[in-house]
A and B are shown apart, each in its own frame.
Chain A
């Protein structure tokens, strides 16, 4: 592709995804088309069954569309999961090392990179801790560092802060925003929390449910750094919530 390093990081074109065999076929995504700009912070928002995780899996290359194409324009996608999904038999540092080992990077360099990535998520010196010794928020930061260890240009995040308490989540929003700005990575962030989407996103893609379709795209013209409790965030969140309820309401009968 000549489009490498273009302004578009991900091109999603007419993507549908069905699960199951012919008789009990379920459609998760229906003709979704969407361009993600390079360096953009894009939030995918929707209720249950909108296929947002499916879409993320397609972008991360874990799954293939039934029809349509997903083009990551030569960029590498890394994935971060809701449940930190750290490997429990490895230390924090060991977890971050796995993608480096998979790419055959030498030991000395690995160690150095692990330290740098841990410092980036403000967990310097905790390389030898095991996942169960860390709090939920710390585990998610290790998970974030591990995603960065994949040298991803596109960071796919599947409700990464969904299971955290509100205070930790707010702080991690700040952290994520800082790291996003420092690295210039493209973030595709799946959430069902409208305020979180408004707090973080440059754009919010609202998906309808069963099957997932793009219902509406909102531009978030609020200056950064934002606070989740600011009036402007709340205002836009109200608009988006109203629209989301409309979409969800169509399934009530």
Chain B
């Protein structure tokens, strides 16, 4: 009975004059309404959006450096203990030319990526299992959150006793630090899947795995992504704590360099290492924010350009550089698939300005 040849039946129904007339009338009215409903707002040029997203960050950074310099000028501490930003930045710049810097950074990043990857696998598996079972949920749900609130540094004495001063000790703590956040992201994501969408999936015949694949997983993605982002933050913190405490002989790393500079009372070196740690944090955060922004634009949770507009109005974004990277994601990415489909929507050009209706 169901639809087979749409066009031939359509012709048949139009064979009677009356039908044809009302049909055309409905057609025209519907096409008119559709055209009115397609938003006509235009995108701002790319350069303008990029600038709007960038200048608040540059401004905040400049302000921070200025304050730092003012404190140095005030003579609060001798300059060998508290050097100005100029010295620290030039030390950071000159380190970029050394092989040692890149070796240390590479080791640190490899540790971070390994630990994070393992934490993600464990976190996702635990999250999925726990979210599916009420009993497990009651048993370990709050335990996971408790684990998350444990400062990672308190694990190190145990890790050092178990694994000595080795890569494993660092890995152990990094995974323990990051996995609970990932697991919680998955659990909350599954919790907040709208029941209506599950009903929709079931009405379309999705069951078990296919329900997860087509409905639950994508619906939970925003929360999972938040968990991944938080997991990364915990991973990076744990790793830095680990590299300060667990210095594996012969293995240079960013944390080891930092510790080394402290022992030599080389404040400029300490600051150069801290700048390295900060820059890595900012870059990874920007990558997460880009992914998050793209997802939100795709789902209509944010009107394209909104954050750039907000930035242009005065940049009340979160923290100076760390959290403030997000507008760049949505505006510069260019993946926003909203070029008008040119479907007889008279005069409607440009992307979308927000949710219609």
Residues of A whose CB lies within 8 Å of any CB of B are 38-39, 60-62, 75-76, 78-79, 81, 83, 85, 87-91, 98-99, 101-103, 116-117, 119-120, 122-126, 128-139, 146, 148, 150-153, 167-168, 171, 174-175, 178, 181-186, 225
Q: Are B200 and A81 in contact (CB under 8 A)?
A: yes
B24 → chain A closest CB, angstroms? 11
B205–A99 contact, CB under 8 A?
Answer: yes
Q: Decide if B19 touches A129 in the complex (CB within 8 Å).
A: no
> In the complex, are the beta carbons of B200 and A182 less than 8 A apart?
no
In the complex, whether B74 has a CB less than 8 A from a CB of chain A is: no
Nearest CB of chain A from residue B5's CB, rounded to whole Å: 9
Known pairs A122-B30, A136-B357; A182 contacts B10 (CB<8 A): yes
Q: Which residues from chain B contact A79 at a C-beta distance below 8 Å?
A: 199-200, 203
CA distance A148 to B204 in the complex (A): 10
Interface residue? B22 (CB, 8 A):
yes
Which of B6, B37, B196, B343 lies in contact with A120, CB distance below 8 A?
B6
Mind listing 10 A-B residue pairs with CB under 8 Å?
A75-B1, A90-B218, A130-B298, A135-B356, A148-B3, A152-B2, A174-B22, A175-B30, A181-B13, A225-B22
A62/B202 contact (C-beta < 8 A), A135-B37, A174-B26 known? yes
Besides A126-B341, A128-B341, A132-B352, 14 new A-B residue pairs in contact (Cβ under 8 A), listed by A number: A62-B202, A99-B204, A122-B27, A125-B342, A131-B300, A135-B33, A135-B37, A171-B30, A178-B26, A181-B13, A182-B3, A182-B9, A183-B1, A183-B3
In the complex, chain B residues whose CB is within 8 Å of the CB of A148: 2-3
| Docked complex: B1-57 residues within 8 A CB-CB of A | 1-3, 6, 9-10, 12-13, 18-19, 22-23, 26-27, 29-31, 33-34, 37-39
The answer to whether A135 and B197 touch across the interface, beta carbons within 8 angstroms, is no
Q: Does B18 contact A225, Cβ atoms closer than 8 Å?
A: yes
Smallest beta-carbon distance B253→chain A, Å: 39
B10 / chain A contacts, CB cutoff of 8 Å: 182
Contact A98 B300 (CB under 8 A): no
- Bound-state CA distance A101–B206 (Å) is 10
Give the residues in chain B near A85, CB-CB below 8 Å: 196-197, 199-200
The interface residues of chain B lying within 8 Å CB-to-CB of A62 are 199, 202-203
Please state if A183 and B341 are interface contacts (CB–CB under 8 Å): no
> Chain A residues with Cβ under 8 A from B197's Cβ?
85, 87
Nearest 9 pairs between A and B by C-beta?
A132-B300, A135-B37, A79-B203, A125-B343, A136-B357, A182-B9, A135-B357, A88-B299, A99-B204
Which B residues between 252 and 304 are near A, CB-CB below 8 angstroms? 295, 298-301
Closest to A75 in B: B1
| Closest residue of A by beta carbon distance from B353 | A133
B residues within 8 A CB of A152? 2
Query: Which residues of chain B have C-beta atoms less than 8 A from A183's C-beta?
Result: 1-3, 9
State whether A87 touches B215 (Cβ < 8 A). yes
Option from A81, A99, A184 in Cβ contact (under 8 Å) with B1? A184
Shortest Cβ gap from B234 to chain A (Å): 27
> Would you call A171 and B29 a contact (CB within 8 A)?
yes
Cα A168 to Cα B202 with chains together (Å): 28
B31 CB → nearest A CB, Å: 8
Chain B residues lying within 8 Å of A88, measured Cβ to Cβ, are 299-301
Which residues from B are CB-within-8-Å of A123? 34, 343
Q: Cβ of B205: which chain A residues have Cβ within 8 Å of it?
A: 99, 102-103, 150
CB distance from B99 to the nearest CB of A (A): 45
B200 touches A135 (CB 8 A): no
Interface status of B90 (Cβ within 8 A of chain A):
no
CB distance from A117 to the nearest CB of B (A): 8
- On chain A, the residues within 8 Å of B200 by CB distance are 79, 81, 85, 87
Q: Which residue of A lies closest to B343 (CB)?
A: A125
Q: Does B79 contact A (CB under 8 A)?
A: no
B100 at the interface (CB under 8 A from A): no
Contact A102 B29, CB 8 Å, known A89-B298, A120-B6: no
Bound complex: CA A56 to CA B231 (Å): 43
Is B250 an interface residue, CB under 8 A from the partner?
Answer: no
Q: In the bound complex, how far is the Cα of B337 from the Cα of A91, in angstroms?
A: 10
Q: How far is the CA of A99 from the CA of B2 in the complex (A)?
A: 15
**B19, A225: Cβ atoms closer than 8 Å:** yes
Min Cβ gap B87→A in Å is 49
Measured between C-beta atoms, what is the minimum distance from A76 to chain B in Å? 8
Q: With a CB–CB cut-off of 8 A, which chain B residues contact A119?
A: 6
Tell whether B221 is near chain A: CB-to-CB under 8 Å: yes
B356 near A132 with CB under 8 A, answer yes
Which of A60, A132, A151 is B355 in contact with, Cβ under 8 Å? Answer: A132
Distance in angstroms between the alpha carbons of A167 and B317 in the assembled complex: 42
Nearest neighbor of A82 in chain B, beta-carbon distance:
B196
Q: Which of B18, B219, B354, B357 has the most chain A CB atoms closer than 10 A to its own CB? A: B357
**Using a CB-CB cutoff of 8 Å, which residues 309-342 of chain B contact chain A?**
337-338, 341-342
Q: Please indicate the chain B residues that have their CB under 8 angstroms from the CB of A122 in the complex.
A: 27, 30-31
CB proximity of A55 to chain B, nearest CB, Å: 15
Task: Choose one: A60, A90, A129, A136; the contact of B203 (CB below 8 Å).
Answer: A60
